[in-house]
Structure formats: C-alpha cells, structure tokens
Amino acid sequence: MIIAITGASGVGKTTVVDAIGSGPEENPKTFHLDDVDMPDWSSLEDAREWQRETTLKWVERLVNIVRNEKVDIVFEGSSEIEFLREGFHQHRFTDYEIILFDCNPQTMKSRLTERGQPDLYHADMLNWLKKLRLDAMREGIQIVETDHKTIDEIADIITDLISKDEV
C-alpha cells in the first residue's frame, strides 16, 4: 500500500512522516517529494507542470518499489491530488490512499515561523491551502486536521490505515 500525503507548507507532512520513518520497523518505508532538487521557483516557467512531472516520476518510483519489494510506503509532498491520482492510474495501481493534511492559517503561520520560514506564509500559500482543501472535499479525500493533534496521534492515523489494509 502507498499512503500519499499532500498539503501546503506548514501543515505537518514532513514532521509526521519523519516520525513514522524513525520507528524500529522497516515497514513502512518513507519518502519525501522534497528529496529531489527543488527548482528556483522564481525562474520556473511553469511551476504546475514541474509539479505534475515530478509527482508522476515519484509515483512511478513508489509503485515499482511496492511491487518489487512488497513493502508499504508513506510518501509526502505538496502536490495536487489530481497528479497523484493520474500517476497511480497510469501504473494501474489501486492499493493507495491519498490524505490531505490541513490546518488553520494561524497554525500554519506559527509553524512556518518556528522553523525559520516565515516568508512562506503569504497569500499564494493560503490560496494553495484552500485549493487543496476544496479539491479534497470534492474528491472525498480524507482530511486530517493537524491543529490540535500530537505528532504521534497523526502518525497513528496513518499507520492504522496500513494495518487495516493488511487484514
């Protein structure tokens, strides 16, 4: 199974996936979209197309790992839900779950400031947060509100999904 977590910057994706990956078990494997070289966004001609191509490459890689190694994967990155679905569809892979991590703007601002990236809190990021939320609601994607949950509580939500899939 592949759990693909998306969400805007500051919602807790990386923190939770790092917590899952730091456990004693080798399953699930964890991956971050940001593990690739990120572009200089100001000089990128088409950021949406870059995101689509990068997401499709990641999904292909993850599907191959699951099929070859018979492991579960938790992947996180700020990607459009439609690009994730497109990638899974291209590879005829159905054992996946897309989850949106979400939080209110004040929580986002606080987290981005705490991690030394207050410049990421701007109108475009807030619009991205809203877009992902609306897309998730429209497509029936599970939304995990990260405002008032601990890292462990959120990680348990993710690992419980994998455990249910194995039954």
* Each residue's pLDDT tens digit, 9-40: 999 999 999 999 987 677 799 999 887 666 56
Please give the C-alpha separations between residue 139 and each of 5, 6, 23, 48, 71, in angstroms, as whole numbers: 15, 14, 32, 20, 27
Q: Is residue 17 situated within a structural domain? A: yes
Query: Residue 12 belongs to a domain with what CATH number?
Result: 3.40.50.300
The parent domain of residue 110 ranges over: 2-36+47-166
Cα separations (Å) of 150 from 18, 72, 90, 144, 154? Answer: 14, 23, 35, 12, 6
CA-nearest of 101, 126, 85, 94 to 19 is 101
How many domains does the chain contain in total?
1
User: Model confidence over 37-54: pLDDT tens digits?
Assistant: 665 656 657 778 888 989
Q: For the CA atoms of 165, 81, 118, 18, what is the dihedral angle to 10 degrees?
A: 20
Is 42 part of any domain?
A: no
Question: What is the pTM assigned to this prediction?
Answer: 0.91
For the chain, give the mean pLDDT: 91
